[in-house]
Amino acid sequence: MGNVALQLAQHEYWQTIHAARTFDAGPVAGFRELYPASLPDGRQIALPVRILPGDGRAAVASLIVNQASFAVVDAIADALADIARSSAPDIVVGVPTLGLPLAEGVARRLGHARMVALGTSRKFWYEDGLSQPLSSITSPGHQKRLYLDPRMLPLLAGRRVAVVDDVISSGSSMLAVLTLLGSAGIAPVAILAGMLQGAAWRALLGDFDAGIEARIAAALTSPRLVRGDDGGWRPEA
């Protein structure tokens, strides 16, 4: 137990739900190849440490939902559905691309008949007024546009909406989602993520809505990491 030195092959990440305390959550020597993120019940998922572009001294723990095992995706969706129930949403909005399988899983667990998926591919009947530019920490140089299908507006108007995404990190993607929904008069009652990554999102989304943090929750959390002189990765101060 607590064996942070355990190494995993690249294809083994996100595949197994480990028992609580399988990995040391605060190793003195720092994290090396993996960061163990904990589900609400204490079970752990091993996430690879990804070095960010720059001087090589900053990194994040990475969650890629469409490379995860079904067991891991189900565990995250279970946790998010449990969290969502307290907000009693009428409908779930999924954020592309990796938020969509989690959104579907949450909607099914809540007993909903469907979900509403935002998109990044413009259909000919879409409206420019129902779109926002979209970027993320993992694809900083590749900007897309995020669209809300105008035909979906009747499903959202006057209803309690929960938004589901895979990861909230810088907050820029979620800000685009909230701005887009806001342009249609929609203010989500819950904003759910498979993982909250670091704390940079707090300032950006807090500027958008000072009370928004109370409506944000996740199945997993992970810090941004900095490399020490000994080569170990530790949570950013």
Range of the domain at 96: 70-221
Q: Is the pTM of this model over 0.85?
A: yes
Q: How many helices (H) and strands (E) are present in the chain, helices listed first? A: 5, 12
Same-domain check for residues 148 and 231: no
Are both 53 and 91 inside the same structural domain?
Answer: no
Question: How many other CB atoms are there within 10 angstroms of residue 141's CB atom?
Answer: 6
Question: Is the predicted pLDDT of residue 217 greater than 90, yes or no?
Answer: yes
Beta bridge partners of 43: none
Query: Which residue shows structure tokens 């779930």?
Result: 92
Per-residue model confidence as pLDDT tens digits over 110-152? 999 999 999 999 899 889 989 999 876 555 555 789 999 999 9
- Candidates 32, 44, 49; CA nearest to 1 is 44
User: Is there a cis peptide before residue 221, judged by omega within 30 degrees of 0?
Assistant: no
Structure token digits, residue 35: 């960061």
Six-digit token pair at 126? 């879409």
| 54-112 pLDDT, tens digit each | 999 999 999 999 999 999 999 999 999 999 999 999 999 999 999 999 999 999 999 99
Give, in degrees to the nearest 5, the angle at Cα 61 between 202 and 83.
55
Angle, CA of 212, 215 and 216, to the nearest 5°: 90
Is residue 209 in a domain?
A: yes
Spacing of C-alpha 152 from chain mean position? 23
- Cα distances from 169 to residues 19, 38, 61, 180, 227, in angstroms, run 26, 17, 11, 18, 19
Same domain membership, residue 105 and residue 30: no
Q: What is the pLDDT of residue 138?
A: 53
Compute the distance between CA of residue 39 and CA of residue 214 in angstroms, rounded to an integer.
Answer: 19
Mean pLDDT of 200-207: 97
Pair 93, 180 in one domain: yes
In the numeric block, which tokens belong to residue 54? 């720059």
185 assigned to some structural domain = yes
* 57 and 88 both lie in a single domain: no
Q: In Å, how far from its chain's centre is CA 148?
A: 19
13 in helix, strand or coil?
coil
Regarding whether 204 and 123 lie in a shared domain, the answer is: yes
Count of structural domains, the chain: 2
Residue-level pLDDT at 143: 73
Burial grade of 27 (CB within 10 A; 0-12, 13-18, 19 or more) = middle
Note whether 77 and 20 are same-domain residues. no
